């Protein structure tokens, strides 16, 4: 009986020692709005999860682990897990990245010098008069005799017009790949353990394995939703990319 109890206690102790710990939390922005689709990465285990639409996430980890939080448009954030973090929910606050505002040209105003200001105003009046004269000239109807064809000249018949063929895409895959690398930054790929010389190769692999991009190439524009869709595809395909090729 004593031996059975000893075995039972040893088994319980083994389970407690090797039990998987999880870290829970909620991610918000500076306005306390929940942030969905935030990449949460455990640097030690390389486990990656996405926060749900309410900003909640759950990832395995333990005290001492480093968690990295990544989302387009926000500064990257890191958190070192403390022992108490495995017992209570984390509140993670992410800060929006600074956006550079284009320089605004300030037009020259009045200086107070009557001589200089009168010249500037006089020039403005000349410009206004020129615009007015052009507008009046354009609005006048031309004499039909001026536009009529001269004897012996060919006249293009009126019709429905004709097609000039398919409009070319504004981007190709190379443009799209360059934009993705620029938007996500090289750190995003190094976090995925993709070495810098192979970043473009990896991006093209994702594009060529089913990532829908027809409208992106057509209009030369990739929205935040498209960028997030690309990141989801990365998480689904990176294992296949890193897998060693099968030997024939």
Q: What is the 3-state secondary structure (H, E, C) of 67-93?
A: EEEECCCECCEEEECCHHHHCCCEEEE
Backbone angles phi, psi at 31, to 5 degrees: -95, 10
- Provide CATH 2.60.40.1120 ranges for the chain: 10-93
- Is 2.60.40.1120 the CATH classification of the domain at 10-93? yes
Show pLDDT as tens, one digit a residue, over the chain (248 residues): 555 445 545 544 444 444 568 999 999 999 999 999 999 999 999 999 999 999 999 999 999 999 999 999 999 999 999 999 988 999 999 999 886 555 555 555 556 665 566 566 555 566 677 777 767 766 666 555 555 555 555 555 554 544 455 568 999 999 999 999 999 999 999 998 899 899 999 999 999 988 999 999 999 999 999 999 999 999 988 888 887 666 55
State how far the Cα of 116 lies from the Cα of 77, in Å rounded to an integer.
55
Q: What is the pLDDT of residue 214?
A: 92
| CA separation for the pair 235, 206 (Å, rounded) | 10
Q: Write down the pLDDT at residue 17.
A: 46
* Other beta carbons less than 10 A from residue 13's beta carbon: 10
Q: Report how far apart, in Å, the C-alpha atoms of 99 and of each of 36, 73, 74, 118, 183 are.
A: 21, 9, 10, 40, 13
pLDDT of residue 168: 82
User: How far is the C-alpha of 63 from the C-alpha of 42, rounded, in Å?
Assistant: 12
How far apart, in whole angstroms, are the C-alpha atoms of residue 223 and residue 229? 10
pLDDT of residue 209: 87
- How many Cβ atoms sit within 10 Å of the Cβ of residue 175? 15
Please tell me the predicted confidence (pLDDT) of residue 163.
Answer: 47
């Amino acid at each position: 009986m004593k031996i059975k109890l000893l075995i039972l206690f040893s088994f319980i102790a083994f389970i407690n020692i090797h039990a998987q710990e999880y870290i829970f939390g909620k991610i918000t922005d500076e306005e306390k709005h929940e942030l969905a689709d935030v990449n949460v990465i455990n640097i030690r285990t390389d486990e990656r999860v996405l926060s749900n639409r309410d900003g909640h996430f759950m990832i395995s980890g333990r005290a001492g682990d480093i968690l990295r939080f990544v989302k387009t448009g926000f500064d990257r954030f890191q958190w070192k897990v403390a022992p108490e973090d495995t017992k209570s929910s984390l509140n993670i606050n992410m800060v929006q990245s600074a956006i550079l505002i284009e320089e605004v040209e300030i037009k020259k105003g009045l200086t107070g010098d009557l001589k200089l200001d009168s010249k500037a105003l006089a020039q403005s009046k000349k410009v206004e008069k020129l615009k007015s004269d052009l507008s009046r000239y354009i609005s006048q109807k031309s004499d039909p005799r001026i536009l009529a064809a001269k004897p012996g000249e060919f006249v293009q018949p009126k019709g429905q017009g004709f097609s000039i063929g398919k409009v070319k895409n504004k981007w190709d895959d190379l443009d799209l790949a360059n934009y993705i690398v620029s938007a996500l930054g090289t750190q995003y790929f190094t976090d995925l353990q993709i070495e810098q010389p192979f970043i473009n190769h990896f991006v093209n692999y994702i594009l060529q394995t089913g990532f829908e991009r027809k409208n992106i190439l057509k209009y030369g524009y990739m929205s935040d939703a498209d960028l997030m869709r690309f990141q989801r595809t990365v998480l689904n395909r990176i294992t296949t990319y890193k897998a060693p090729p099968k030997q024939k």
